[in-house]
Structure 1
Amino acid sequence: MNTRGEQLELHEIAKAKFLEVLDTEQDKKTAALIWEKCSNMDSYIQMNFDPSVRKYLFTNDWSSIRDNINDFDTIKEFIHSEDEDNNLVPLIEILKNKKLFNNEISKDEVENERFESIISFPNFLLQINAVLNNLEEEDSTLDDKHFLNNLSWAWGDADKAKNFLFHMLKCRVLFDKYILKREYARDYKETGKWSLQRLERYNDGKGDKPKYVGTFGEDNSQNNKQLRTLQSCLRITYTSPKTMHWISLILTSLLENESCDIIEILEDYCKTKVFESKFENSSGFGFERIVFTYLDYLLYKNGYSYLGKEIIPPLYDEWQFQFRSSIEHFQPQNPVEGESWEADDLDGFGNLALITVSGNSKFSNLPPEGKITSYPSIIEQSLKLKIMKELVNFDDEKWTEEKARKHKEEMFRVLKG
């Protein structure tokens, strides 16, 4: 707690611990600068730096850290600290005032208000911790309840602190380049959309400006669309920051080789999760969410046809993942009309889909045909559910136990394929 009676946040305490073990004033200045620039997660890291520092740290196109920046001391050498002096406050002030730096809003920062990170800065620090220590996938490694304890090794001495701070900056550049964000601009200014873009420099004749282009070329290129959808699949499945181990998996791989196949790495991760869930022996609410979301990703990636009719085109442009957590019984558990199904079919995967809580509430106990006609937008939430709708419309215009069984077999084939 500082002298004004305000409770210090855990990452502020951690910052003080890091600065305390550094030997020189220049080291402390460099560390404070890295920390403060990395802490603004909702803008691209390059735009958090003053232009006079940006040109020394990043490549000419701004997309990467320069090759000759390979440790903390080389960052210190290239930073013109006199340009940043007005942002530095003595260490003792950390315990007196939470507002340590002058957060003057530049035009660049206003531009970056269109983006929103999928994790907070404290969780990003825990992700770096997991990367540097090659930690196994355990919830406690990313749990902020153990925040200071998990990080305490990193301020054990000056060398450890410098190594952590250097990798914080390096991983933050990779994070902004390869991990999706929410973007609020143009038609999506209110609702937002998933965005996978890297920052590049361009000159408009008046000066250097940032532009945002697809991480893998054009924003609508196959790899970009596929990776964006795959990451959004994981984002809506593992909603708690302490379960987002897929992020440290990507960062670890990129640190080893930035040319690694992230799509293959994440697909393998999802496959492992799906098969560990023992989905073929599951029933009803016992199915894990990753089974539904990864299936929707595969349907998005490869498309789906039934009896020669294309139901879902590959890389379907009109669809994106929403936050869905409610398992829906297409044939209701307590139908308002007609007979109830036997449990094996009712709770079988062929009769289930993952939709929003509000969508589940609206569907209630309506029959499948009523759900299709009354709430078509809810049907569109899930590509699996979209297929189920087409199966209803095929043949006898009804949803039957036999159709549900065949659909289950077909979707299991897709998952295992």
Structure 2
Amino acid sequence: MNLAKNIEQVLSQNYTIPLYQRNYNWGNNEITSFLQDIYHAFRTNPLQNYYIGSLIVFRGKYGTERFEVIDGQQRLTTIHLIARFLSIGNLTIGKLKYDSRRDVEAFFNGLEKGHIAFSALDKENKNLENLIHAFEIIGNVNLEGTYDSTISLSAMKLNGNLADFSAYFFKHVMLVEVEMPSDTDVASYFEIMNNRGKQLQEHEILKAHIMAKITESNHRVVFGKIWDACSEMNAPIQKFFNSDQREKLFGKMYDEFYPNNIEHLVYEDLGEHSFSLVDMLEDKSFGPSSQEEQNNETEEEYDSLPIIDFPNFLIHVLKLTYRNTDIPLSSDKLMRIYKSIPMSEITSVSPMEFLKRLLFYRVVFDRFVVKSEYGIEDDDQEDKILDSSAGFSRSRWKLKKPIMKLVNNKYRGKKYPSLSFQNTFEDRYQERMIKLLTMLQVTYRQRKNKNYLQYILGLFDPSRPQSLKITAQEFLKKVESFTLRQFGNLNISESSDDGIDSASKSINLYAQGTNTPHFVFNFIDYLLWVDSVVNKVDHGINQNFDFVYLNSIEHHYPQVLLEHLANSIVIEKKVTLNCLGNLCLVSRRANAKLNDREPIGKAGDQRFSSSNLSPKRKIMYNITNKNKHWGEQDIYEHHLEMMKLIDNRVSILS
């Protein structure tokens, strides 16, 4: 029996998602990774099959009519959504049914009939919310995952070059479909599958692989301890060492780095020996830090997972270490990537040298990459904005460095070294750096292909630990220069000439509607903030706004009112609606709420007028409220203002 089936064969069958399965919950991260992997396989070899996992099914009560899905429903549902987006007319697609969820069935029936305009009521339906969001994501995923790429399924469809990818998706993307025996106790099997133990992760296999090359037992212990500390991404690395270890590794003030001292750490340094009662009473080390030290230390935890996880962080370290090998910034095939590095390169860096680099780049990450104080992932943060009708609770992005302080103990009368934290940069630069780094993060939120993180880590040299002493001015200049280059890579011409013809050309260039790269909006917001706060230009924005995860492009003058728009003073109606002057970034839920409303209703709604409105959106709402309308002239003038801002980007940031 051939278990492997291509997507076309899978789609030709009928499936039911049983009631015991959870609702569809794939979001931006999962869908983006799924599509990027398929697109990469397509570009690498369009004739070779690409396997995306398994689908476990059971015929049960449906007999030969349809399969009941036991495992793989998230993947199967996503495949159906992609197929509907690709809209292949000559393809027979079987039914995807959901037990006791008629609204979901109606949703897929609507897609089958070409109904892809979703009402505000649909978007508020909890069963449909993630499905609608997923369908919107599918069209706009940056398939190459690089800053300078604008390739998406929507762009390919618009340009009429979707056929080759569609053929590959249906013919060469493969699933292994396993049919369970007819006497299977499905409920018990499902429970076992969801409670089975975790398999060893690839980064743990890589750790063992590298450690196997270490001959000295003490070094193996040191390697394992420091590797494990680096893998804990949600607290600063210094938290995982006691005061003696910190001084050896990070200097007396805990803010430097001494890589050669790694090899001089011993079992006792790392807590690998027994302690007497006298040792404990005298506060000698018996763990990462003594209880006395823990009592005096500043709690400093944050959420790194929206930025990067440890496997993807490892990929960055590998790429910076083995520069002669083209290493993709994706951890999906971590061991395969590591094994692709030539042995001559591998042997040129000893295990302990690799450990020094890993710890060094972890120090860089902690100090120079912004983090979120809350455990807020993308959509949760958007919801927090929308639900805060009385005022938005700010996201509290952090940029901190460690510092040692001596703290008095009131009972023992002794001073203990305490780990504390302070802003990485002085006040003059701190807020600007946080705005710049969060602008990059909310734009490029995926943990994979995070080029801005690779750039920042690469600014520092592990052979020169003193590079950690980079000045705020130098660091800001380098990261802003990087940002300007990313904008330049979009290859959008500038509107430097005066007159209607030039303006019309610029509107055509920036009339991509929902296909406009999100980077454009976030970059404009950063320019507006710098121009207001640093250059003292009054744009009427809220200077204390925070960048947050926004993933929907909103037409301020809605598309559904197109027929009410008079002949455009610039070009045609559709171009006017889709130009930069009529667009802003909003949250997914805000997009659902605002979808069909008049501009004056949007701008006047207190739920969407909090102090955290992004600068561009705030300006659009200010104009709407002041003029009591938003029409072609307003769109045209705002567009020209934004183009002027973009054209002056270098001088604004200088």
TM range (shorter): 0.7 to 0.9
CA 1:404–1:87 in structure 2 vs 1: closer, same or farther (change >3 Å)? Answer: farther
User: How much is the aligned-residue C-alpha RMSD, in angstroms?
Assistant: 3.2
Which stretch of the first structure deviates more once superposed, 291-300 or 203-212? 203-212
The residue matched to 2:408 in structure 1 has which SS? Answer: coil
Alignment of 1:156-235 (within 5 A): 156-157=346-347, 159-184=349-374, 192-206=395-409, 207-217=416-426, 221-235=427-441
Query: Structure 2 CA distance, aligned partners of 1:109 and 1:405?
Result: 59
Deviations along 1:347-379, one digit per CA (max 9) or x if unpaired, are 000000011111111111111100011245367
Name the TM-score, length of structure 1 as normaliser.
Answer: 0.82
Q: State the match for 1:126 in structure 2.
A: 315
Selected match of 2:238 from 46, 64, 78? 46
Aligned length: 381
Deviation at 1:251, TM superposition (A): 1.3
Query: Structure 1 CA distance, aligned partners of 2:565 and 2:361?
Result: 57
Alignment of 1:342-361 (within 5 A): 342-361=573-592
Query: Residue type matched to 1:115 in 2?
Result: Y
Deviation at 1:85, TM superposition (A): 4.8
Query: Structure 2 CA distance, aligned partners of 1:115 and 1:36?
Result: 18
Q: Is the 8 A contact 1:43 1:112 kept in 2?
A: no
The residue matched to 1:402 in structure 2 has which SS? Answer: helix
Deviation at 1:297, TM superposition (A): 1.0
Q: State the match for 2:256 in structure 1.
A: 64
Q: State the match for 2:527 in structure 1.
A: 298
Query: Structure 2 CA distance, aligned partners of 1:33 and 1:249?
Result: 28
Q: Moved runs in structure 1, 4+ residues, more than 6 A?
A: 102-106
Q: Does 1:288 align with 2:497?
A: no
Q: Does 1:55 align with 2:247?
A: yes
Selected match of 1:377 from 608, 616, 621? 608
Query: Structure 2 CA distance, aligned partners of 1:275 and 1:332?
Result: 30
Q: Which runs of 5+ in 2 are unaligned?
A: 1-195, 275-286, 376-383, 385-392, 410-415, 494-508, 649-654
CA 1:295–1:378 in structure 2 vs 1: closer, same or farther (change >3 Å)? Answer: same
Q: State the match for 1:95 in structure 2.
A: none
Q: State the match for 1:83 in structure 2.
A: 269
Deviations along 1:119-152, one digit per CA (max 9) or x if unpaired, are 111111111112223489x8x6211122113334
Query: Structure 1 CA distance, aligned partners of 2:435 and 2:309?
Result: 21
Query: Residue type matched to 2:445 in 1?
Result: T
Query: Residue type matched to 1:120 in 2?
Result: D
The residue matched to 2:613 in structure 1 has which SS? Answer: coil
Alignment of 1:70-109 (within 5 A): 70-71=259-260, 74-77=261-264, 79-86=265-272, 107=294
Q: State the match for 1:244 in structure 2.
A: 450
Q: Is the 8 A contact 2:403 2:422 kept in 1?
A: yes
The residue matched to 1:114 in structure 2 has which SS? Answer: coil
Q: Is the 8 A contact 2:401 2:422 kept in 1?
A: yes
Residue identity over aligned pairs, in percent, reads 24
CA 1:109–1:249 in structure 2 vs 1: closer, same or farther (change >3 Å)? Answer: farther
Query: Structure 2 CA distance, aligned partners of 1:128 and 1:385?
Result: 38
Larger Rg: 2
Q: Which runs of 5+ in 1 are unaligned?
A: 89-101
Deviations along 1:167-203, one digit per CA (max 9) or x if unpaired, are 1111111111111111149xx9x97521011111112
CA 1:143–1:320 in structure 2 vs 1: closer, same or farther (change >3 Å)? Answer: same
Q: Is the 8 A contact 2:581 2:636 kept in 1?
A: yes
Deviation at 1:161, TM superposition (A): 2.2
Selected match of 1:390 from 618, 622, 631? 622
